[in-house]
Every structure is written in C-alpha cells, then in structure tokens.
Structure 1
Amino acid sequence: MSSRRRKPDWLKSQPPTGQRFTDIKQTLRDRDLHTVCEEANCPNMGECWSGRDGPGTGPGTATFMLMGERCSRGCNFCDVATGGMDPLDPDEPENVAEAVGEIGLDYVVLTSVDRDDLDDGGAAHFAETIRECKRRNPGTLVEVLIPDFGGDEDAVRQIIDAEPDVIAHNVETVERLQWPVRDRRANYEQTMDVLEQVDRESDIYTKTSLMLGLGEYDHEIYRTLSDLRQVGVDVVTFGQYLQPSRSHLDVFEYVHPDAFETWRQVAEEELGFLYCASGPMVRSSYKAGELFVDALVRDGKSPERAREEARAAAES
C-alpha cells in the first residue's frame, strides 16, 4: 500500500511545547546526550516529558539513547543512521545519571543503538549507565530497552546483574516479517531467547513491543503473543508503524483504534500479560506503561489496580 496515503485523523498529534520541554532539550544539549524521543520524532514526547499529571506539573519520563547516534545495523523501519561507529564516551554513564537528576525524572528508559563492532556489544557500558543512574538517583525507576547483543548470554547477564527495574527487548513484528522489517542479524528466535533468559535468570519485569500495519495477519499476532507469554514476558505494547521516510518500508495499512483495543483485551484478559498498552500512537516507551510499572514496583499495588490507575492518568 502506498506510503503517500493520507494519515487518518486518529494519527494526528500536537507538536510538543512548553517550558519544561524546552528545559529538558537544553539539558540534553548541554551534556551532549541523545534521546530516542527526539531521534524517532516520537508523537508522545511532549506528553512524557511534561510529567505524569500534565505539562509543568512534575517528574516525567524520557528515553536516553546510549553509545552514539549511529547504529551498526540497518533495520528498514528505523530512521537511526547506520555505520561510521564512534568510540564509546566513557563519561556517558555519569552524564546520563546527572541529567536524570537535573531534569527530575522519576522513571527513565535507557536504550541504545546496536554496537556489533564491540566485543560485548556495549553491554558493560550499558550496565555501568544503569548502575550510575541507580546510585545517583535512588528514587528513580530504571527501565532498559536492550539490543540482542548478538545472542551473547554473558552480555545479557551483565544487564541483569546491573538490576534495572524492567528489561525490555522488542520483537518488533511477527516471525514471517522479521525480514525485511529488521536487520538480518536480528531474528525472532534470538529475541525470544533474550527475553527467556531474563525471565529464567531474574525476577526483573520483562517487556516487548510490536508494530502493527506492516502486513501481519491476526493469527500471526496471536501466535507471537502466545510465544511471548511462553517465555515469560510481562508487559507488551502495540503501536502503529509509521514510515520515517520514503526510503523506508511502506505502511501496509493504518490499523483502526478498535483493533488495538481488541489486542489489548486479548493480551491481558485471555493470555495473561500483566499489562498491555495498545493504540496507534503508543510506542515501546510510553507513559501509560511506565505509570503501570511505577505503581507495581514502587507502590506494591496489584496489577489490576496498577492498570486502572495507569489508564486513568494516561486519559486525563
């Protein structure tokens, strides 16, 4: 289906504004830090950065991208530049941790580009950033969205040992569409192995995300969800794939919000995921999901109560 199609009304969003948004951008620039929020032009950036109760009202969330602006892989859905890898910045763990404190985030997501050029895929650098964020900001919950580290279990174990509150690794799409959606060095089985290892070796909550609108069939989505539950994934998110540029994969279809709600119900009520954030504008790091984890981890609330509060806050 042509990417020239006009987007439906439910995919329109307002550009981020406000003093807090401006202040966060300045803090990031001052420390030469990058966020996926900006790199991916996330439609929820203003909402997440503004705070849990609206613009200017207090701590929010942000997703920091570690290990540079360039990725060693070239996925056909992603707009991050590929190749020309830079050396790791040894000051990055400290700079990120200081920025988290300066901005006043109560929930931070750390992710990264793929660094297949490094012996451990950058796992030690990633783990050090987790530990530094925890040390300097003991009241902040840390979620990590990790690469697959080429299937290296020792690298994944370094992330586990750093003790983040949530470990996420995205399956992105159904098995049939892994290529051409993802780089050939990523694959369905390897992703399941990473998620299963985290579940097997820790009590850390696990999370993953799928994009819809790439040409997947309903039975493939259901099978993917079933496989994810089998390897112990706790939280799943669904969002609409949007083409970053005309050189990327076309959008096959714009999935109606009602379909996203159906998949939320299937995930939570039929398959037993603790939480599912599902909607056209949802991304893997999204305030509703983070509010759920916050209530679950920090306040010790039941999944049912945590879900109720997260949805109420996201809709307010």
Structure 2
Amino acid sequence: MSVDENKINFKKPQWLRKKLVPHAQKEMEDLLGKHGLHTICQEAKCPNISECYAKKNATFLILGNICTRRCTYCNVHTGKPTEVDLAEIDGVTESVIKLGLKFVVITSPARDDLPDGGAEQFYRVTQNILKKSPGTQVEILIPDFKAKEKSLQRAVDSGAVIIGHNIETVPSLYHIRRNASYERSLQVLKRLKELGGEKVKTKSALMVGLGETEEEMIQVFKDLLAVGCKFLSIGQYLAPSGEYEKVKEFVKPEQFQRYKEIALDLGFEFVHSTPYARSSYLAHEYLSKDKNSI
C-alpha cells in the first residue's frame, strides 16, 4: 500500500468530522438495553448515531446481531446466529411507543440459516407496531431472502410503507458482498414492486469511495429505475477498521450534489446524497410532501 493510500484511510477531510452527542447516545442505549434490543446504528458503527439518538430515532435490528454472510465492508458480526427471539416483537413495539415514534425503520442481518430468511419475523414485528401504535409508519430494510417469492410476499404483506433493499455498490465491486449478486438484488427490488404495486415504495442505497466511477454509478441509477425503485440514498463508505475494505476516495460534497441532480433528472422521486447519508438516515423525509429540489 502506498503512503497516499494509508493517509486516505486514516485522515478524514473536514466535511467528515461529525460531532458526537454522548449523553443522548447513552440515554437511547440504556432504553434499548432494557429490552435486550439491538440497532443497526450500533452494530454498523454508523457515524450518525449520536444525531439520530438525540432525536429519538433508531433503526431496530431484529433477528439478532449475528450475520450469516461475511461482507468485507460491514461491521456486523458474522457467525452462527441465535434462535429467533419472539420476545423482540413486543420489545420493539414497546420501545416505539415509549419513544413516541411516528416513523420506524426495521432491519436485520442476513439469516440464510432460516428457510424464509427471517421474513416472518419482519411481518410480525411490523404488524405488531401497526396494531399497537396505529399512528406509526414502518419502513423495513430487508436482506435479499435469496429472492424467495414467499418471503418477498410476506414483506409486502407486512404493512410497511417503504421496503428497502440495498444494492450497496456497482457491479464491478460486488466481490465485497459475499453470497450476494447484483442481478439478484435487482430482481428482489423488481418483485417487491410488482407484488406491492402502488401501496409500497421501494428504496435502495449506494456507498461511494470504493473505486467506482461516475459512469458506473449512473448505470446503477438506470438499473434501479428500470425495476421501479424511486427512492435512493448515496453516502460515503467509511471503513469500520483496518480489517475491512479500504477507502479509495473521500468523495467531495459537490460530487454528492451532482449525483443527486443526475438521479432526480433520471426519474427518482427522492434522493439523499451527502457524505453522511445512509439508507435509514432521515428515513421519514422520503415520504414528505415537500418534493426534492435540486
């Protein structure tokens, strides 16, 4: 590795130096700990964790915190998952009610050990929230479920207003997504839209800074639109530690703005494209009546 490559992985530019709010973070973690719950915010070391926790926003991680895949960019632990915990259905709902959340995001690690990939748990958690907190909307961010039709149907039937599945990166870099494929992820998004129709919005997310080109990114935009996906987030990849994929570039804010303009011009309905954008960051804004402005 060259000296320049070393520097880029350890010295962040000014626009990536986000302030933390430790008190707010501890308060939320204490509440989640009472119910034995996990958030992807914690597991993935999300840089927005303090900001979101301060606003009482969190993306709940169901089906445990152990993933059956070993993607080389993701901080979620890999190993043998625990049994499905039915108690988390009420645990998540009670936390939603206690926090007074009006918009909730539910996600999970990949659970290839389960016949349905965990789809039934997504359905039960979402339905429980909608039943006991009728003023709350739910977004679910699902793994690919190996594109199983019954699992995708269960996700659509859950009542979630947005169903997300992250494409993550461009096809030439898909080696970082172990046991996944670009074509399968597109097929998942296509079937979700076909099964859900107008009642379901589909959403995806892309990381940048891994060596992708603008031309490759634009092609992914077109591929997503071709399968009916109209919501998109684009954010800077940040390596959790030196053991993960290396950052090749800290993409400048003006390039994020350019990606947003291109994506909106192509036909996306809403785009979050900033260095700190993540798939669940400011998730409620995607359904805002205020349309994106360039």
* TM-score grouping bracket, smaller chain normalisation: over 0.9
Q: Does 1:282 align with 2:277?
A: yes
1:104-144, Cα deviation, whole Å (9 max, x unpaired): 11111000011101111111111111111111111111011
Q: Which moved more, 1:37-46 or 1:128-137?
A: 37-46
The equivalent of 1:200 in structure 2 is 194
The equivalent of 2:292 in structure 1 is 307
Distance 2:61 2:102 in 1: 17
Distance 2:159 2:9 in 1: 44
For 1:6, give the aligned amino acid. K
**Partner-residue secondary structure (3-state), 2:140:** strand
Superposed displacement of residue 218, structure 1? 1.0
1:202-223, Cα deviation, whole Å (9 max, x unpaired): 1201100000000001111000
Superposed displacement of residue 42, structure 1? 1.5
The equivalent of 1:23 in structure 2 is 27
Match among 227, 232, 239 for residue 235 of structure 2? 239
Superposed displacement of residue 5, structure 1? 4.0
1:1-316 equivalent positions in 2, closer than 5 A: 1-2=5-6, 4-19=9-24, 21-51=25-55, 60-179=56-175, 181-183=176-178, 185-202=179-196, 203=198, 204-268=200-264, 270-287=265-282, 289-293=283-287, 295=288, 301=289, 305-307=290-292
Superposed displacement of residue 17, structure 1? 3.4
Normalization by structure 2: what TM-score?
0.94
Superposed displacement of residue 18, structure 1? 4.0
Q: Which runs of 4+ in 1 moved over 4 A?
A: none
Superposed displacement of residue 93, structure 1? 1.0
Superposed displacement of residue 41, structure 1? 2.0
Contact 1:62 1:107 in 2 (8 A): no
Superposed displacement of residue 48, structure 1? 2.2
Residues matched between the structures, number = 287
**Partner-residue secondary structure (3-state), 1:211:** strand
Q: Which moved more, 1:210-219 or 1:60-69?
A: 60-69
Contact 1:292 1:307 in 2 (8 A): no
For 1:7, give the aligned amino acid. K
Contact 1:24 1:103 in 2 (8 A): no
Superposed displacement of residue 198, structure 1? 1.2
The equivalent of 1:298 in structure 2 is none
Normalization by structure 1: what TM-score?
0.87
**Partner-residue secondary structure (3-state), 1:61:** coil
Superposed displacement of residue 46, structure 1? 2.5
Superposed displacement of residue 4, structure 1? 3.9
1:169-204, Cα deviation, whole Å (9 max, x unpaired): 00000011111x211x21100100010011111120
Contact 1:40 1:79 in 2 (8 A): yes
For 1:186, give the aligned amino acid. A
For 1:205, give the aligned amino acid. K
Distance 1:97 1:251 in 2: 37
Contact 1:121 1:150 in 2 (8 A): yes
The equivalent of 1:56 in structure 2 is none
Gaps of 5+ in 1: 52-59, 296-300, 312-316
For 2:34, give the aligned amino acid. D
Distance 1:82 1:37 in 2: 17
Contact 1:62 1:105 in 2 (8 A): no
**Partner-residue secondary structure (3-state), 1:307:** coil
Contact 2:204 2:229 in 1 (8 A): yes
Distance 2:22 2:76 in 1: 24
Distance 1:199 1:39 in 2: 29
